[in-house]
Chains A and B, each alone.
Chain A
């Protein structure tokens, strides 16, 4: 039929071919017959041939070339639409041989009189780039030209091309910034989304933060801006009270009407722009529009709710008036329900908690059991966040224990357990109640939770706990591992607190299970000394688990992006950089002025204030790569190692590790225990020990400390300090503990009181100190007053430890003269402990064993101190 000379027959044939393509069937053998029709006069036939060509040209490159001349002719057609569509198809044919032809066509089309053709050429740029990235430089030239275009038709497409080809060439935007802002309202809606997200990134690199303390927006300034639009005499970098850059204001003002767009994607992108760029008090205007989007389709709701969830964590006030819009309807899909629940939980405060709890009561009864379980967790979170209602929540949850549904009961047991832990006051009633229910519960997590509670608070329920244990002993072998483990725990704890009643029972379990516990609690077998620690090991006060939102860490991604939605970094995600401390020259946006744009990446001076997101990413990669190869990094042992191994270690050195053990019980127990994923430092290399207290001044007690360079167990923002206490007097010391500290705000995790220290004995204790990234000294009373002064290097979690760095340098300096060209730049990355600020160190080796050391960080004091320390270390090496 395709060979026929009647158009209608050919058309019919082509329609069938397209039908085949749509179904995903292979129609490639028809290629020669179809290509012949490319020059047909019939528009529909031509279009269908185009569809076919675009689909199969890649597979049959030689034959596809036959059609090229037709397109080349069409590119010169007087009708702009024919020119446009010819370029569209030509650029869609993915045949590498025609790259030069395409390049030529794009360049011509970019200068075309018709904006439609120019728009098409902007699209073609992306296609060409994805086929042949080598053309980048030439394409950037075209983009630069097209960015100057004043047509609203072109703007969206060319910015899209910009984002795809050269998103880092911010300098191309400067001169077009104001034009883009002004055109924005008239650009078609899809283009708006792209432009807004590009401008968000742009603004974050070019303007100073409007969020500074005491930032005051000056209404007059805006008026002044209207008057002096082009002059801009104000030098806002020096002005003390924060004054917004007029261009920054321009962007905010021009995007605001777009909140009224019917396109949800546009509204969302404006919302994220305000969230990331606007002064805090102005962000609220997006609330209404976002709530409006909730009326839209299910999928839109899903994305919008995710974003609101992130926003509501940071700013409750924004969405509180609209709380009722987040009430769950029984017809919502489960993931919508859970998101709404999440938001309601985030919004809860003292004032509205009763309303929210009443609402939750309805949800708990829901037929959707997954949702009911989520509600219980939400109640738990409300209870921990708002202390006034903890008791109410607990009572409510206890009532749920008699629910018939298993998942609900199990979930409430787990949540109650967590709640009791955070508030270990008199709740023996509840524990008793739970003990009664114990027989009916079959979910192992819940059973284990109850057992744990029994053991933990066994002093409060002295009669019941042994009974439960007795019951457990009978069914022991049939239980799941987690339950078994807790049974053993319970037995051990009971033995310590209440040895009389349990003596008969314990041996059975213990023999059956771990040798470890037997060693601890059965006296005289091997190490009698352990016995006295057993009590502390098993009954040490456990830090309460933190119930927090799953959306807590999502704010690291730009709102409204795919990465945010998935909570992982999607391919091609561009990070939003932090505000620059000093605004780059604003005159670059003046259209008249032409000046070379400075590129902060090239700065190689030691600067304490610049932080470049781009370069940090790079160096992150490098350092983590080298970290792997150097076999230095290992996982934090206290968290990832199997139980059994852990125990062995502990028997060896129980004094030192008493704390981890206490945590251990928790770890097995609570799946939500905040796991830290940071790469930890290897502890090889010499550890420098400092004198804290000399035995002369300490009246016999001497103390030395060193930084263990391991992530602190107590809080991630703390620095772990190991203190070795030695008694060098001839009488035993008692009640060693930490007294007053200063400054009062200093957050210190003290060690437990050491009741007694025999003469000539020593003990190692670990402390956590939050230095808040400063170099201030931590003072505290310690029988006599003394202080620990952090040396700077210890405030970092190195992906590489400092020692490793120096080792590396040593090798390098030795070999450097031989192979300078091999690799002369070393990059290291780390984060400060408290504020997680990035610290980048790059070391460039020059000729004749000199080196250039660059440190990039936001903390300028830190930078200079680190520099000094490193210099010293290098000089020694």
Chain B
């Protein structure tokens, strides 16, 4: 399966390597660099690269390429999924997954990789188990460790791998028992020139943070489970119960985890929370272009639209933009031609706008496409699909936990074509 792993940073240095079978020479990465050179953008590097003796499967996250070396047939998704799991674990352990963080914690990284893969086959990828085996570094623990000389390898051996509930460790104890659930929905949409919706869909997740003593057994039911069209579960969820009663029944892992991700059935009309009025024109022969954007709330059910960020990749011919925002700040990067406008909150009484001119390269012809506009936004306390949790019950333990549910709507891949 996975033979070796190389981590490569944005400037093309291999800064970490790990081999699970015999050692594969670094030079195998040359094929990767070749492909990288051919690709214009970092994202355009093909995920699967064949070389004479090996296959390179790579993922790009946080500007680091994780390149796995494969020697024989294996489902590529298997490797890709695993690599992403590695990145998630690093993020979980170090807060961020950057080159610096990995270099600082190289020993922990090595220990983690050693535990996650045996002979190239995934062994322990569940964060609950890993955390038992190797304690994540915290500032406090690092200090204690340096003074006492103790280590961040778990003193006790893990029990989770053996229990019937492999995702939860035994003997969990909390003084405050809490269970929080965040329902987060994202709208993916493409809006065309005239403002009509070409495609729009809602994807949602329920992220949980459960800190409960013992072995609690939870059930969560929805007011309107019919909305959920396609779902994928954390392994802890009992599938049969969901099939029969549309109730989520599970013994939760300890700590943070993603309970459920879902897709809202496409029959329902998707409410688009904002509209955008745009007027972006380039005139033939002139070196000036007009830029005019106005944002407004549309179907928000009375909730405020917050943290709005508008970004757009302007055509290559644009040299600079001289714009005037009615609120917030904007930046334009003349190298990448990326325009981004941090709007903040939309006030329905006074609609935010961004107006001004763009200067084009002298003599350059008029760009033949207007840029697409990407929008990010947040709406608190509302799930745009209307999904509502009915109740959350706990069985198996005697105490009364503190429960909380939060809703939020975000824009996912929300694009406006102009």
Contacts and interface: CB of A to CB of B under 8 A. Distances in A.
A262 B55 contact: no
Interface stretch (B92-100, B153-161, B348-356): B153-161
A21 B50 CA distance: 26
A264 B77 CA distance: 7
Interface string A563-587: 1011010111110000000000000
A51 B74 CA distance: 25
A702 B163 CA distance: 87
A319 B53 CA distance: 36
A126 interface: yes
A94 B19 CA distance: 13
Contact of A331 (B16, B21, B374): B374
A300 B80 contact: yes
B47 A302 contact: yes
A658 interface: no
A123 B55 contact: no
Given A335-B44, A335-B46, A260 B77 contact: no
A781 interface: no
A297 B80 contact: yes
A261 interface: yes
B224 to A, nearest CB: 19
Contacts of B71: 571-572
A50 B153 CA distance: 14
B72 A572 contact: yes
Interface size classification for chain B = 35 or more
Contacts of A335: 44, 46
Interface string B230-243: 11111100010001
A179 interface: no
Contact of B73 (A55, A127, A333, A571): A571
A19 B43 CA distance: 29
Contact of A262 (B40, B43, B261): B261
Given A22-B109, A404-B368, A565 B151 contact: no
Interface in A98-155: 114-116, 120, 123, 126-127, 130, 153
Contact of A188 (B61, B166, B365): B166
Contacts of B232: 260-262, 267, 289, 292
Interface in B176-222: 188, 190, 192, 198-199, 201, 203
Nearest to B158: A81
B369 interface: yes
Contacts of A47: 111, 114, 153
Interface stretch (B116-124, B322-330, B388-396): B116-124
Interface in A189-203: 189-190, 193, 197
A327 B190 contact: yes
Contacts of B417: 362
Interface in B104-140: 106-107, 109-111, 114, 118-119, 121-123, 125
A262 B14 CA distance: 31
Interface string A306-334: 00000000000000010011010111011
Contact of B258 (A18, A262, A560, A570): A262
Interface in A507-551: none
Given A190-B122, A292-B230, A324-B199, A260 B239 contact: yes
Nearest to B199: A324
A43 interface: yes
A302 to B, nearest CB: 5
Contact of A268 (B77, B84, B149, B192): B77
Given A127-B119, A260-B231, A566 B75 contact: no
Given A295-B203, A574-B73, A157 B121 contact: yes
A303 B77 contact: yes
Given A260-B233, A299-B80, A22 B152 contact: no
B22 interface: yes
A288 B229 contact: yes
B415 A403 contact: no
A221 interface: no
A838 B108 CA distance: 54
A18 B110 contact: yes
Contacts of A367: 313, 315-316, 367, 369
A652 interface: no
B60 interface: yes
B188 to A, nearest CB: 8
A8 B118 CA distance: 28
A112 to B, nearest CB: 13
A573 B70 CA distance: 13
Contacts of A359: 198
A58 B22 CA distance: 8
Nearest to B25: A24
Interface string B38-81: 00110110111010000101111100000000111111111011
A332 to B, nearest CB: 9
Nearest to B367: A367
Contact of B78 (A157, A261, A265, A331): A265
Interface size classification for chain A = 35 or more
A259 B162 CA distance: 26
A562 interface: yes
Given A299-B58, A303-B80, A43 B153 contact: yes
B46 A563 contact: no
A459 to B, nearest CB: 36
A499 interface: no
**In the complex, which of the residues A127, A289, A297, A325 has the most CB atoms of chain B within 10 Å of its own CB atom?**
A297
Nearest to A85: B157
Contacts of B157: 79, 81
A524 B227 CA distance: 84
A160 interface: yes
B398 interface: no
Given A330-B313, A560-B77, A153 B161 contact: yes
B26 interface: yes
A115 B164 CA distance: 12
B73 A565 contact: no
Contact of A257 (B14, B239, B316): B239
Contacts of B374: 331
B15 interface: yes
Contact of B72 (A127, A327, A570): A570
Contacts of B15: 23
A562 B58 CA distance: 13
B106 A563 contact: no
Contact of B48 (A91, A264, A562): A562
B18 interface: yes
A395 interface: no
A736 to B, nearest CB: 53
Contacts of B57: 299
A801 interface: no
B269 interface: no
A280 interface: no
Given A43-B153, A257-B239, A299-B47, A193 B315 contact: no
Contacts of B161: 116, 153
Contacts of A80: 162
Interface string A166-191: 00000000000000000001001110
A122 to B, nearest CB: 9
Contact of A333 (B41, B119, B155): B41
B368 A51 contact: no
13 contacts: A11-B149, A19-B106, A23-B16, A50-B114, A114-B162, A262-B261, A264-B80, A269-B75, A295-B188, A299-B84, A324-B198, A333-B41, A573-B73
Interface of A: 6-8, 11, 15, 18-19, 21-24, 42-44, 47-48, 50-51, 55, 58, 79-81, 88, 91-92, 94, 114-116, 120, 123, 126-127, 130, 153, 157, 160, 185, 188-190, 193, 197, 257, 260-265, 267-269, 288-289, 291-292, 295, 297-300, 302-304, 321, 324-325, 327, 329-331, 333-335, 359, 362, 365-367, 403-405, 560-563, 565-566, 568, 570-574
